[in-house]
Structure 1
Amino acid sequence: MDWLNIFGLEMLVLLLIPNIKYALQNKHPENKSTNMFMNVMEQIGRYACMLFMIIILDFAVTGFLSGFVTAVYFLGNLVLMVSYWVIWFLYSEKQECWKQMVLAIIPTALFLLSGITMLNIPLIVSAVIFGAGHIYVTQRA
């Protein structure tokens, strides 16, 4: 089971829970971004990040270089996840532009942190693609 990242799966599920709740409450949210390239880029990056958070490709992932880096991975992910849930709670109380942007930046940071600390090249590349697309699309909302 060296190919499966259970902690990455747990982080992904925790990221998705508030998004699923939002989607159920807002059946047809409007995407105000008319840039099809950026919309597609966001989706490709999103699903690639989801895949590479869970699946570890031996040939493309070096792994943690030290115990300190491992601690940064776990603690950093936990801090980002708690921050994400707090901002989601605040956003559900009052929707504001700055909260939307923070909700776009935190997952990008989480994916990048995970990729960099694990030296997971596919996740790093996917996170950059996702971040550029997601932040652009969110900024247009």
Structure 2
Amino acid sequence: MRFVNTFGLAVIAAIMVPNFIFAATHRDGFENLYKNKAVEFLEQAGRFGCFAFMIFCVPVLCRGFWFGGAKAAYFAASSALTAAYLCGWAVFWKENSLRKSIVLSVVPSLLFLESGFFTLNIPLIVCAMIFAPCHILLSCKNAKMS
């Protein structure tokens, strides 16, 4: 794999579009009701680590596609999960519910995990394993508290 993963960059760009639209249309922003500084910090560190390692592949730590068909599986799974995330935003746009929180937290978590595993990108796997439980917990707790 090259140092810059252009497909990973395209995936990150695609999943950020609804987030930017949400931020632009909701000037008040998102209020985090679940106040747990440790979980919040780990979620943000995991999130930005996932963003970075989806795009940049550290040569020694990113081993590349590790089995025949891994590249095709990576493109297929990443594309399907990206489409599922975008559809989740479209379906649940005006809704504020637990099911919205579950979909919009589980899908990107799976996206980062599968991307890391298919490409044997060790930093991405580590960041995704930090991000996933923290993001899902924060999303679900906030949905229940609102």
Give TM-score scaled by structure 2 length.
0.92
Distance 2:24 2:117 in 1: 33
Q: Aligned partners of 1:136 and 1:86: how far apart in 2? A: 22
Percent identity between matched residues is: 35
Match of 2:38 in 1: 37
After TM superposition, list the pairs within 5 Å mapping 1:41-60 onto structure 2.
Answer: 41-60=42-61
Aligned length: 141
- Cα offset for 1:94? 2.8
Mapped partners of 2:96, 2:141: distance in 1: 15
- Contact 1:91-1:100 within 8 A present in 2 as well: no
1:95 is matched with which residue? 96
* Paired AA for residue 38 in structure 1: V
Contact 1:63 1:119 in 2 (8 A): yes
For the residues of structure 2 that align with 1:51 and 1:118, how far apart are their CA atoms? Answer: 15
Distance (Å, rounded) in 1 between the aligned partners of 2:108 and 2:121: 16
Structure-2 separation of matches of 1:29 and 1:63: 37
TM-score under structure 1 normalisation? 0.95
Match of 1:23 in 2: 23
1:1-141 correspondence to structure 2 within 5 Å: 2-27=2-27, 28-141=29-142
Write the deviation string for residues 70-119 of structure 1: whole angstroms up to 9, x where unpaired: 11100001111111111100111433211211100111100000000000
Which runs of 5 or more residues in structure 1 are unaligned?
none
Q: Which amino acid aligns with 2:30?
A: P
For the aligned residue pairs, the C-alpha RMSD in angstroms reads 1.2
Q: Which runs of 5+ in 2 are unaligned?
A: none
Return structure 1 stretches of 4+ with deviation > 4 angstroms.
none
Post-superposition shift, 1:66?
Answer: 3.2
In structure 2, distance between residues paired with 1:82 and 1:64: 22
Read off the aligned partner of 1:25 and give its amino acid letter: T
